[in-house]
Amino acid sequence: MSRKLALLSGAFLFVLGASGTAALVFAPATIMPGYKEDTGGHCKTVYQSEFRRGKEKRLIAVISGDDREPRERVKTGLRLARHLSDTLHSDLTIVQVADNRGPMTRAGLRGAAIGAEIAYAPNPTRTLAVSQPWEVRYVNTVPTSTGYYFGERIDMPQSDIESLAHEIELIAGCDGDLVEEEAQTVAAGGHDEPAKPAGH
């Protein structure tokens, strides 16, 4: 092999090796073998209802989400409760969180199908249902593969609720609502009741 050919071959192999290393260093994580994208915080509104109880305007929403851990499930519910209250100006907003692998019918969204319930009243003196801005109840377990929650039921202390609420960077609705059909809304004056959370 001539000296010139050897030098060209060596240079080619060097560039090929360097480019391969660069590909490994700079390639997006999504194409790496074994990479699994983190999910969480995504939800879709299954049912939404506005009604009046006396002089109060109340709003109830049932959402399905992909959060498996109780803390993240509650965080998604807090975010949505704030969003609905701020945009629809309800005196009391209740958000019930179900798993996206569980039942989706109104009849099925009760009992063990509900993993968390968040009640938010920005001005508690305007509602007879709560005495403080936040009330949070959740089932302290991850959902089963069929979307049910079987575990201890917890009433979250106010200090924990406030701490979790401060972690929310963006108050926004369910991202699934942007691409799916709109949630059903019952006009104020209706008498729909929320699904019953587990243990209640």
pTM of the model: 0.72
pLDDT of 81: 96
- Which amino acid belongs to residue 197? P
Q: Which amino acid is at 39?
A: T
Our CA angle for 110, 178, 139, nearest 5°, is 25
Instruction: Return the closest-CA partner of residue 100 out of 63, 50, 60.
Output: 63
Per-residue pLDDT of the chain (200 residues; tens, 9 = 90+): 455 455 445 554 554 454 444 443 444 444 444 434 456 789 999 999 999 988 899 999 999 999 999 999 999 999 999 999 999 999 999 999 999 999 999 889 999 999 999 999 999 999 999 999 999 999 999 999 999 999 999 999 999 999 999 999 888 899 988 654 455 555 444 444 444 444 44
Q: What's the pLDDT score for residue 3? A: 56
Residue 180 tokens read as 């799916």
Angstrom distances, CA of residue 198 to CA of 72, 78, 92, 114: 18, 18, 21, 6
